[in-house]
A and B are shown apart, each in its own frame.
Chain A
Amino acid sequence: MSEFPTLHPLGDAAATLRFGVALDAGLNARAHVFCAALADLAPPGLLEWAPAFASVTLWYDPDALGFAELEVFCRGLAASAQAPPAGVFRELPFCVEGDFFAPDLAEVAQANGLTLEEWLARFCTVTFDVCMLGFLPGFAYLGGLPRELDAPRLATPRKNVPERSVAVADGMCAAYPFASPGGWRLIGRTPLKMFDVRGSCPALLAPGDRVRWRLVGLEEFSALEAQCRG
C-alpha cells in the first residue's frame, strides 16, 4: 500500500482521502487541517467535502475534474496544509434528573467503579473534540471520552432513543438531534436543539469544535428548553 494520505474512489463523482485507518485524534486533526486548507484553495470542479474520523470525502464534478488530477491536488495540499482549524469552544448544558433522561448512567458509573456523582463530576471536566458529523443531521461524534468513564455500546440497540439524549459509547459522546434507533448508553438529556433549520447554520456543532458538558438541574433544563422552543 502506498503512503498516506491515499485517495480512494467512491463512485465516479466522489472520493475519500484517507489519512489512516484508526480512530486517532492525530489523524482526525489532519482531516480538519486539510478541510481548512480546502476552504481557501478548492480547485474548480470540487463541489463539497466532509471530514470523517481519519479521512475526508470529496464530491466533485467528474466532467470538470478528473480523479487523477484530484489525487495529485490532494497529496500536494495535504503535504503543505498547516493551519490549525479555528474551532469554536462550547459549553453545553445537560440534565440527568428527568424521566428517562439517563437510564444507563448508574450502570456506566458502576461498571467503572465510580459513584454516579463521581462519574458526572469527571465527565464535566472533559473537553471533547467534534471529530465529525454523520448518522443524522447534526449528530456530532465527540471524541475524547477517557477510558475510566467509557462503556461499550448496548448489545441490542434501542428502537427509539428520545431526541436530545446525551449518550456515550466506545470512547465517544454524542447528543441525538432526533429520535432514532441507537445503541449508545444514555447518560443525560440536553435542552438544546442540536439541529434547527431555522438558524443560518442548522447544526449546533461543526467539525473541529470543542465541547464541555455542564450539569444543570431540572428547573434550568426546563427554562432552557422553553427558550429553545422559542
Chain B
Amino acid sequence: MPRLIVENPGLGVSIQDKGRFGFRHLGVPVSGALDQSWRAAANCLAGAPEDAAVLEILLAAPVLRVERGPVRLGLVGALSGVFTRDGVEERIGCWRGLLLQTGDRLALKVFRAPAYFGFSGGLDAAVFLGSRSTYARAGLGRALAAGDALCCGDADGDDFFAPPLASGEGALRFIPGPQDFPPETLAAFAGARWTVRAESDRMGLRLAGPCLAHGPSGASIVSDGVTPGAIQVPGDGQPILLRADGQTSGGYAKIGCVISADIDRMAHFLPGETLAFVAVDHAEAARARRQKRDAFAEWRQQRAPVGGFDEGRLWSENLIGGAIFGE
C-alpha cells in the first residue's frame, strides 16, 4: 500500500472527511472538513472517491515524503512551494493533481487557509464511530505528528488541474430562529459588518460588532440542540457562529442558522476579516442548494490534463490569487 511519511506535521492540520453523523444524541459533534466542497475537489484531483478523508490545513502545511509510491495528491487551496525528486527541486502550484514517486518530498506553503490535500484512493485512517474525522478532544483521532505514516491507494493516469472552485461571495444567508429576537435586533444583526475575533477555531467564529439586544426572555435559554451554522448570541450581545467542531447543544439564544449552501463559506473567514448576514427563507435556501450542486458539477467539467498548461503564465497573471483571494 502506498505510504507517505510526515517529516513535519505543520500546524492546524487534521484528517477530516464528511463528518461523524448519528451520535449527536450522545453529545458527539459532527466534525468533518470545514469546506466540504473543497474536500471533495481535493479528492477529485487526487483520484479518490469524493467522500474520502483528506488532510485539512488551517495554518501551515505538513512536509511529506513518499516512502512507497506512486501516489497522487490533490492540492486544493492557496498553496505553492516545491517538490524534490532526486535532489532536484521543482516549483509547484495548486488546484491540481500531483503524481509523486517513491522518495519524492513535498514542502508547500499555505498563503491563505484553508487548504486541503487529497490522496489517491482516499486517505486511510482509523475509523471512529463511522468517520475518520479528527475530534481530538474526545480521543477521536489526534493531531498529526512527525514520523506518522499516511496510507492511501495507488495512482495512475495523468495529473489534472482545475480552476479554483469559487466559494461564493456576499452576505452569509441565514434562516431566523429557532429563538425569537425583537425585529430591531434582527435588523441590526443583518445590517452590521461583523469582525472575526482571534479566539476563533474549528468550533466556531467569535464575532465582534454592535451589541445585539435580547428579547424579554434574555440570552439564556433551556439548552437545546445546535448545529454548524447556528448563530448564538450570549449575554454580551456578540454572536458566535458555530462550525464543524461546535458542541451539540447550547444554552444561548440563537438568532438564526446559516443555510447549508453557505456553510462551506464559513471556512474562509480569518481573524480580523469582516462578514455580514442576510435573512432568507426555505425556498431561497433550496435554490441556493441547487446552485451550489450545479457549480460543483460545472467545476468538475473544467478539469483538464496538466500537460500543455502553462502554470508559470497562470501564476504571473495572478489568476489563482485573484480567483481565491477575491478582494
CB of B282 within 8 Å of the partner chain: yes
Please give me the residue from chain A that is nearest to B137 by CB atom: A178
Q: Are B257 and A9 in contact (CB under 8 A)?
A: yes
Q: A104-112, A117-125, A133-141: which one contacts chain B?
A: A133-141
Query: Would you call B285 and A12 a contact (CB within 8 A)?
Result: yes
What's the minimum C-beta distance from A93 to chain B, rounded to whole angstroms? 21
Q: How far is the CB of A22 from chain B (nearest CB, A)?
A: 7
Number of residues from A at the complex interface, CB < 8 A:
48
- The B interface, classified by DSSP as helix, strand, loop or mixed, is mixed
- B233 CB, nearest partner CB in chain A, Å: 14
Chain B residue nearest to A196 (CB atoms) is B139
Contact yes or no, B174 A11, CB < 8 A: yes
Instruction: Please give, as numbers and ranges, the residues of chain B lying within 8 Å of A11 by CB-CB distance.
Output: 174-175, 227, 229-230, 256-260, 285
- The yes or no answer to A16 lying at the interface (CB within 8 A) is yes
Tell me, yes or no, whether A206 is within 8 Å of chain B by CB.
Answer: yes
Instruction: State the Cβ distance, B202 to closest chain A Cβ, in Å.
Output: 15
Task: Indicate if the CB atoms of B224 and A9 lie closer than 8 Å.
Answer: no
| B223-A52 in contact (CB<8A) | yes
On whether the beta carbons of B138 and A195 are closer than 8 Å, the reply is: yes
What sequence of 0s and 1s flags, for each residue 244-261 of chain B, a beta carbon within 8 Å of any chain A beta carbon? 000111100010111110
A197: which B residues are within 8 A, CB to CB?
A: 128-129, 138-140
29 sample A-B contacts, Cβ–Cβ < 8 Å, listed by A number: A9-B175, A9-B176, A11-B174, A11-B229, A11-B259, A12-B289, A14-B257, A16-B178, A21-B222, A22-B222, A50-B25, A50-B248, A50-B249, A52-B224, A53-B222, A53-B223, A57-B226, A62-B260, A66-B282, A133-B249, A134-B225, A134-B249, A137-B138, A137-B140, A138-B27, A177-B138, A202-B28, A202-B129, A207-B25
B residues 19-71 in Cβ contact with A at 8 Å: 21-29
Contact of A138 among B26, B128, B135 (CB under 8 A): B26
Give, as a whole number of angstroms, the nearest-CB distance from B264 to chain A.
13
CA separation between A217 and B1, bound complex, in Å?
51
Asked if A81 is at the interface of the complex by the 8 Å CB criterion, the answer is no
Shortest CB-to-CB span from A217 to chain B, Å, is 29
Report the interface size class on chain B: 35 or more
CB <8 Å contact, A59 and B178: no
Interface residues of B (CB under 8 A from A): 21-29, 128-129, 135, 137-140, 174-179, 217, 221-227, 229-230, 247-250, 254, 256-260, 282, 285-286, 289
A22 to B223, CA, bound (A): 10
| Contact bitstring A1-41, B, C-beta under 8 A = 1, else 0 | 00000001111111110100111000000000001000000
Closest chain-A Cβ to B240's Cβ sits at a distance in Å of 15
Nearest residue, chain B, Cβ from A8: B178
Instruction: Give 3 nearest A-B pairs by CB, closest first.
Output: A57-B225, A134-B249, A11-B257
Contact B175 A48 (CB under 8 A): no
Chain B positions within 8 Å of A133 at CB level: 25-27, 248-249
CB pair A12 B137 closer than 8 Å:
no
In the complex, which of the residues A54, A62, A134 contacts B27, with contact meaning CB atoms closer than 8 Å? A134
Question: In the docked arrangement, what's the CA distance between A50 and B177, Å?
Answer: 18
Q: Label chain A's interface by main secondary structure.
A: loop
Q: Is the CB of A12 within 8 A of B175?
A: yes
Interface: A216 (CB within 8 A): no
Most buried by A among B175, B176, B229, B249: B249
A141 to B139, CA, bound (A): 21
Would you call A10 and B225 a contact (CB within 8 A)? yes
Q: How far is the CA of A35 from the CA of B174 in the complex (A)?
A: 27
| Known A9-B178, A202-B129, A203-B27; contact A134-B223, beta-carbon cutoff 8 A | yes
Q: Which residues of B contact A178 (CB under 8 A)?
A: 137-138
Contact A137 B27 (CB under 8 A): yes
A 47-79 to B, binary, CB cutoff 8 A, 1 in contact else 0: 111111111110100110011000000000000
Assess whether A132 is interfacial by the CB under 8 Å rule.
yes
